[in-house]
Structures are given as C-alpha cells and as structure tokens.
Amino acid sequence: MPYTTVGEESIFYAHRASVNPKAPHLILVHGAGGSHQLWGYAIRSLGSANTYALDLPGHGRSNGTGRWSIAGYADFVLDFMDALQLEAAVVAGHSMGGATAMTMALRYPQRVAGLVLVGTGARLRVLQAILNGTLSDFEDTIQLICEYAYSPDAPRQLVRQGQRQMLDVAPQTIHDDFAACNTFDVMERLGEIHCPTLVICGTEDHLTPPKYAQYLADRIAGAELRPIEGAGHMVMIEKPDRVAELIQSALVRWAL
C-alpha cells in the first residue's frame, strides 16, 4: 500500500487501479476519527474507478496533524490530489468526509467531477457530551459514539472493531474532528453545487438521520437519494457490497 508526501506529512492511502484507462478517479474520505479501513474492501476495489482511500493526517497510518476545520480538510484533500497529479476526481465522503467533499465542490468545483455523500448532512451539530468527553473521558465517549453509529442489528464484532480503531486515534484529533463538524454549515449553499451527486444513507442512522440525506437530495440539483434499509450511520461498513453497487452504478450512469 502506498504513501505520498503532502507538504511535510506522510499520507497513507489504499489504491486500486481500474483496468479501464478512461476510468474516473474516486477519492474516499473517511469521517471523524476514522481511517481508510472504514470503506469496505468492495468499495475500495470498484472496477469502474481508480480508487484512492486515504487516511487523513493524524489518522490511521498517516502522520501529521488533523485539521481544525472542514475547510482545512478540503484544502488538504486538494493538496493530496495535487501530490498524485489528479486533475479531477469524484469525491466520496462519509460524515465529516461528506462535509469535506461538499466544501471541495463549493471551493474547487473544477476539481470535483462528482460527489458521493454517505451518512452526512449540510450541517453536522455534535452533542456537547461528545465534544467534552473526547478530552475528559475518552474511552467511554468512544463507546458512546459507536453505540450511536451502528444499527442495532450490526454484528457486535463490527462495533468493537470500530471502537478499537477510534481508540488508536489521539483524543485531541478526534475532539478537533468533531469540533470541525460542529461548526460546519452549508445549508444555504447547496444550490451552488452542480456536479453529479449520489446521496446514500442508512435508514437506522441516528447520528445523521435520513432527513439530513433528504435535505441534501432536495437541494442539490439532480442529486439521487439511495437509502439502505436497516443500516446505521456506518452504512458503508455494515453494507459494503450494497454501497459499492450504488457507487458503481452511479459512475457508469455519469459516464465521466
């Protein structure tokens, strides 16, 4: 698995090249306290795209420092694209990653060929208990987050795996991620997004409820909404094959 240097930071990413020389580039951006592993293998290996699932700075196998704002993460992903010499890409983002993707589409529309918005919203308010707890009671707060993040029917092994992965991230980084989400708000700007957009949500998502996805689909011109029954906030790890199928189908329809 490759690394690239962005500024002075060594950034890890999982890459799968398509056999189609004209396939679009697809960048997978994880959410707060996450890593590339939260995109299921089926999603990271789409045959219709050149996929790049990165670990944001300070997350997963990447070194460096997490950012303090969604705009900071958007600028970072653009720099990541520049480091790999990617002129344009479809940007898929989960939760905080979705906020990052939308911000990129607003700030750098010529670089974003399409959006895949997974378990996210135009505004991402965070419970004060989570903001405080990430610094004062880290382990219990991570357990609380994961209890909310997965559907009641999700295998407990998945939930425990999610907890272990988040516990490996520095508490300050996770706090800063959630603080960045808490100040994010593009509710009045969605009409400025004009690229092809797919919105995916789990019907049992309690962190970014389905009404958030509906709001995005109603206000981004031409956006497609695809709910996944029985999945929670971590829809792409609970139902990776279905999410991969939806993304693959959208990329074929968009014919980028």
Amino acid, single-letter form, for residue 116: V
Give 170's Cβ-side CA count (13 Å radius): 14
Measuring CA to CA, how many Å separate 40 from each of 7, 171, 228? 28, 24, 15
pLDDT at position 138, please?
96
2-52: per-residue pLDDT in tens? Answer: 999 999 999 999 999 999 888 999 999 999 999 999 999 999 999 889 999
Give the pairing type, strands 25-29 and 89-94: parallel
Coil vs helix vs strand at 10 = strand
Q: At what angle do helices 138-149 and 171-183 cross, to 10 degrees?
A: 50
pLDDT mean over 46-63: 96
Return the domain boundaries, the chain: 3-254
CATH domain 3-254 topology: Rossmann fold (3.40.50)
pTM passes above 0.75: yes
pLDDT at position 232, please?
97
Element (H, E) at 214: helix 210-219
| Mean pLDDT over each residue of the chain, to the nearest integer | 96
pLDDT at position 47, please?
87
pLDDT at 1 over 70: no
66-119: per-residue pLDDT in tens? Answer: 999 999 999 999 999 999 999 999 999 999 999 999 999 999 999 999 999 999
